[in-house]
Amino acid sequence: MDQQPYIPGMSPADPGPLSRFIPPLEEGVISVWLPLHASPFDEAQGRPGSWLLDPFGFSPRLVLEAARSGYRVLVTVNNPVTRFLLEMSANPPSESDFKAALAELETAKKGDERLGTHLRSLYLTLCQKCEKEIQAQSFLWRKGEDAPYARVYECTECGDTGERAATQQDIDRAKKIAGTDSLHRSRAFERVVSLKDDDRIYAEEAIEHYLPRPLYFLHTVINRLDGLSLTPERRRALNAMILVACDAGNTLWGYPSERLRPKQLNIPGQFREHNLWTQLERGLSLWLETASGVVCEAWPNKIPESGGICIYEGRLKELAHEVKKEIPIAAVIGAVPRPNQAFWTLSALWAGWLWGREAVEPYKIALRRRRYDWAWNATALHAAFSHLFELLPLGTPFFGLLPEPEPSFLTSALTSANAAGFDLQSLAMRTEHDPVQILWARGEHLKRETSAANIEDIREAIYSHLLERSEPASYLHVHTAGLIALTESHAVKNKEQEFDEAMRQTQALIQRALSEDARFVHYSTGENVDTGLWGLNHGILSEAKNRLPDEGDSSAPSAALSDMTDSLSDRVEIAVVTFLQKNPNRIYLEIEEDLYPRFPGLLTPSKAMIYAVLGSYAEKDGAAWKLRPEDAAAARRNELITITAMIETVGTRLGYATRRQEKNILWIEDEQIQYAFYVLASALIGRAILETPHPPPPGQTLIAIPGGRAALAAYKAQRDPALGARMKNYQLVKYRLLRNLVEVPVLTRETFEEQLASDPLEKAKAQMLMF
């Protein structure tokens, strides 16, 4: 398989509306990928404006970025909320429309008072310090209780701020609203489904995730909408702000450990009830930050050749025939969907609240379907891939971004695509926190010949990956290595199998390949195969390394030797430093752009690893990185000579005979090696260990490193338990310690030992950079 490098991007500066339900993608990825794989020039028509298809429509930003790069993007969306997000992001109302719409709502009358005053009064609370009546930012609840236990505020009068216990007044206010709850609750579900509807029960259950106060707030606002005289743009702006409040108003906001990205409708043990008036205002600023300006039309309206978005509201199946006739698709892009019962169910509710029952009707199944497992996901993806197969020409590329990857999600995506005639071209993975980048191509046969899964293929794939890494990998990585091997031999699913059976078999086979093979070592605190890290048995690793180079071919580049002996993190260290030596003052993204093609596919280094190296060697001037003066190559070479001489001086003063042997400095007494030193300018600890005497001498082996490398060395030891274990027989000493020892007027062997013991590595600092 072609190993395509990971395309780096930037995390968006602002999260945007409903961000906890939108795939977390980096920006700038699709605009790099597109020109490489799909010409913006429409060859069939002989003019600019190639067509792309996003069959899932889950990520508004991805679609916008593609449209801005000069493509026409056809998007299928059947979730009315996602559709609204996409339209709003492409073409939001102006700031003045947002402000006017909110002002209109604020000044509407509720009895004798303004609606805004009434709604804000729902959140009044007494400041504990100055006893003035102020707005709470939120109330805190325990699941199942009928009143909040605390409130969070920032007093506008005296500045007192934080979490305070709820007062009797807070409790009474919450209970008073609850007194009229059943009326509001029945109105809330009648906007979604009719009383006679069989799905009524599901709507009621979904609404259980709203407390009485937010439900009252939202429906007081929603019921006023038709009475306001708003232009269509202002109505759209107000809907957008209300949508943000709808999400802020449910109970899926765990406290204090906020589950940032809920997938299930589960009420946390403790949760936060937001002040929805402030959330409406927050909605205003969230939407303004997304301001775009991309043409967005509903199918089959025309969009310009310069790029734009065409939304098909409905299912891919229905679109397939129309597209095949009329539009040549140059490439497919999209964030591969994963099950999200919480978002899908809430979307159906919100659609009813904002746009009425008719808007819910085509999407009502989302209310009913309560259990989404990975086999369900694979079946749904398979249907989508099969429709795509029908409408795409042979060889059409499909660039899929798989957010929040986990083993089952990858199995689901790769199995369903393979079973629908798509060939896996490349897969690049960084960490479990980053989207996986997958490239498929539409193959020749929808129903291809399959072969039987072979456990040895999986073993060999995992073995080669671990050998290439020369350090342990996460279960996700080794699982993916095995899965790719099965996919390439078309052995992920045979024609008779259902997806649940096929996926269970794949999962079990990969786990058996790992657990029943003495070459693989499991580093984990748990028993399960799919936890922790997997590495190669050290004996096998060094044997393989010894076998591969040294074939007597002196023309072999030394880089190949280094690739076989250095671990992935050591090679990343070398690559980053080499890049900065040649290219000072580069921004982080440029470092990634240079690095990723050197470490493609499953080897993609994490940001934490790159930052650990940068933190050790470089300094930042504005956004640009350059090596520290002391880490320039010439400075480090001189220092190596100085430190080596110091080690000899100290050894002589302590009464040892000193000797240089290969890359070591030995302190000898009675013809026995008492201490062996290895001087490093880098943090290539693995290489140092390999080049010190074996077996280690009876005395101590010390590795001297610059102080600036200590955190990087500790990071590597923590990241790689195999290295951490080997390092137990060695002691790292900082250059500074040796310099200090030279200065000590009366140096004894005891003070030397004491000094060594007093200089541990900075472990705390490394703790923060685990991936």
Where on the chain is the footprint of Zn ion (CB under 5 A)? 127, 129-130, 155, 157-158, 160
Q: Report the alpha-carbon angle 255-257-263, nearest 5.
A: 90
> C-beta of 278: minimal distance to Zn ion in Å?
17
CB of 132 to Zn ion, least distance (A): 5
In the complex, least distance from residue 157 CB atom to Zn ion, rounded to whole angstroms: 4
**19, 381 in Cβ contact below 8 A?**
no
Residue with tokens 């795409």: 392
Of the pair 160, 762, the CB lying nearest Zn ion is at 160
Nearer to Zn ion, 130 or 394 (CB): 130
Q: Which is nearer to Zn ion, 131 or 550 (CB)?
A: 131
State which residue, 127 or 453, has the beta carbon closest to Zn ion. 127
Backbone φ, ψ for residue 688 (5° rounding): -60, -45
- State which residue, 4 or 138, has the beta carbon closest to Zn ion: 138
Q: Under 8 Å CB-to-CB from 103, ≥6 apart: which residues?
A: none
Of 139 and 463, CB closest to Zn ion = 139
Helix or strand or coil: residue 605?
coil
At 31, the amino acid letter reads S
And the tokens for 136? 């709470």
* Pick from 499, 457, 649, 597: nearest CA to 6: 597
Distance CA 592, CA 682 (A): 20
Q: Which is nearer to Zn ion, 44 or 158 (CB)?
A: 158
Q: Quick one: 154 or 543, whose CB is closer to Zn ion? A: 154
- What b/e sequence results for 616-642 when a residue is b if at least 16 CB atoms lie within 10 Å of its CB, and e otherwise? bbbeeeeeebbbeeebeeeebeebbee
In whole angstroms, the minimum distance from the beta carbon of 136 to Zn ion comes to 12
CA dist 771 and 769 (Å) reads 6
Q: What is each CA distance from 623 to 587, 588, 620, in whole angstroms?
A: 6, 8, 6
Task: Please say which residue, 158 or 768, places its beta carbon nearer to Zn ion.
Answer: 158
How far is the CA of 682 from the CAs of 348, 456, 639, in angstroms? 56, 39, 12
Question: Angle, nearest 10°, between helix axes 181-190 and 212-225?
Answer: 50
Within a 10 A sphere around the Cβ of 556, how many other Cβ atoms?
12
Report how far residue 291's alpha carbon sits from residue 17's, in angstroms, rounded to the nearest whole number: 12
- Burial profile 520-549: b = 16 or more Cβ within 10 angstroms, e = fewer: bbbeeeeeebbeebbbbeeebbeebbeeee
Complex with Zn ion: residue 125 or 408, whichever CB lies closer: 125
C-alpha separations of 208 from 73, 123, 150, 250, 468 in Å: 38, 21, 21, 9, 52
Judged by beta carbon, residue 67 or residue 155, the one nearer Zn ion is 155
Q: Name 374's bridge partners.
A: none
Closest CB to Zn ion among 160 and 313? 160
Please report how close the Cβ of residue 125 comes to Zn ion at its closest, in angstroms: 10
CA 267, CA 260: separation in Å to the nearest integer? 13
Q: How far is the CB of 126 from Zn ion (least distance, A)?
A: 9
Report the chain's C-alpha Rg in angstroms: 31
The distance of closest approach from Cβ of residue 283 to Zn ion in the complex, given in angstroms and rounded to an integer, is: 27
Cross-strand partners of 151: 139, 164
In this structure, are residues 298 and 311 in contact, taking their beta carbons and an 8 Å threshold?
yes
The nearest distance, CB 152 to Zn ion, in angstroms, is 14
Question: Smaller CB distance to Zn ion: residue 160 or 691?
Answer: 160
Shortest spacing between CB 156 and Zn ion, in angstroms: 8
d(CA 17, CA 505): 40
- Of 138 and 470, CB closest to Zn ion: 138
User: What is the amino acid identity at position 606?
Assistant: S
Q: Which H or E element spans position 142? A: strand 133-142
Closer by beta carbon to Zn ion, 132 or else 637? 132
Helices marked H in 22-147 = 30-37, 60-68, 80-90, 95-107, 115-121
How far apart are alpha carbons 177 and 768 in whole angstroms? 45
CB of 174 to Zn ion, least distance (A): 21
- Distance separating alpha carbons of residues 748 and 744, to the nearest angstrom: 10
Compute the least distance from the CB of residue 130 to Zn ion, in Å.
3
